[in-house]
């Protein structure tokens, strides 16, 4: 919080490539593909948080609770916004854009790509997965539908580019991203040609 009368510190916009989207939308694998294609380092914010805590996201949820995890996400976004990381691809946890206070932070961190996915596709992809604490419930499909309905506007508010991922293969999506990044001047015309 900024004390009354005190000026809020302003930061220059960072130049990361940020991937957002619901669990199972392919942020991690897309991050890896883009990393190869663009020759840029890639990082998963969940992984950074897990490593810093020396435990899995599931254990953080179980032992410290979801709100402690959400605070860690916000703290990490602030570090990124303040320029503590060199330019890279960052895939964010599926819930990071949901908190209102995170939305301007995410936008200040770079160019934001939203991988939009249908609930049924998430369900098929994550059936049997036990690493997502929020989906360990009686009726995961219903939970996924509800969460996507509620979160959609938050993802859209953060996004510079929205891609529907259900019916496309990742290499095709990567090329769409590259085309977009060239159009906006983020990438030079000949960027990463040899890594196609
Ligand atoms: C969450 C998504 C997960 C992880 C945590 C909470 C969410 O990340 O941050 O389990 O609230 O959607 P992935 O989207 O990488 O699975």
Ligand 1 center from residue 8 Cα (angstroms): 30
How many Å apart are CA 101 and CA 96, to the nearest integer? Answer: 10
Rounded distance from Cα 45 to ligand 1 centre (Å): 10
Ligand 1 center–CA 188 separation, angstroms: 33
The protein residue with its alpha carbon nearest to ligand 1, atom 9, reads 93
- Residues in Cβ contact with 114 at an 8 Å cutoff, skipping those fewer than 6 apart: 20, 21, 155, 156, 158, 159, 161, 162, 163
Provide the residue-wise pLDDT of the chain in tens; the chain has 196 residues. 455 666 778 888 999 999 999 999 999 999 999 999 999 999 999 999 999 999 999 999 999 999 999 999 999 999 999 999 999 999 999 999 999 999 999 999 999 999 999 999 999 999 999 999 999 999 999 999 999 999 999 999 999 999 999 999 999 999 999 999 999 999 987 776 667 7
| Encoded tokens for 190 | 């000949």
Cβ contact 177:111 at 8 Å? no
What pTM was computed for the model? 0.94
Residue 123, number of CB atoms within 10 A of its CB:
17
């Amino acid at each position: 919080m900024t004390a009354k009368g005190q000026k809020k510190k302003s930061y220059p916009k960072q130049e990361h490539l940020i991937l957002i989207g619901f669990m199972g939308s392919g942020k991690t694998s897309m991050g890896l593909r883009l990393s190869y294609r663009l020759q840029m380092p890639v990082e998963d914010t969940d992984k950074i948080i897990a490593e810093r805590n020396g435990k899995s996201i599931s254990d953080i949820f179980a032992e410290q609770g979801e709100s402690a995890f959400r605070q860690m996400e916000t703290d990490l976004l602030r570090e990124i916004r303040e320029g503590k990381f060199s330019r890279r691809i960052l895939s964010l946890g599926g819930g990071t854009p949901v908190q209102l206070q995170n939305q301007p932070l995410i936008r200040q961190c770079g160019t934001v790509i939203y991988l939009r996915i249908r609930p049924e596709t998430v369900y098929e992809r994550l059936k049997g997965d036990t690493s997502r604490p929020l989906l360990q419930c009686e009726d995961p499909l219903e939970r996924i539908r509800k969460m996507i309905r509620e979160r959609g506007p938050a993802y859209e508010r953060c996004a510079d580019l929205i891609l529907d991922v259900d019916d496309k293969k990742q290499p095709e999506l990567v090329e769409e991203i590259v085309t977009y990044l060239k159009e906006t001047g983020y990438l030079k015309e000949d960027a990463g040609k040899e890594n196609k």
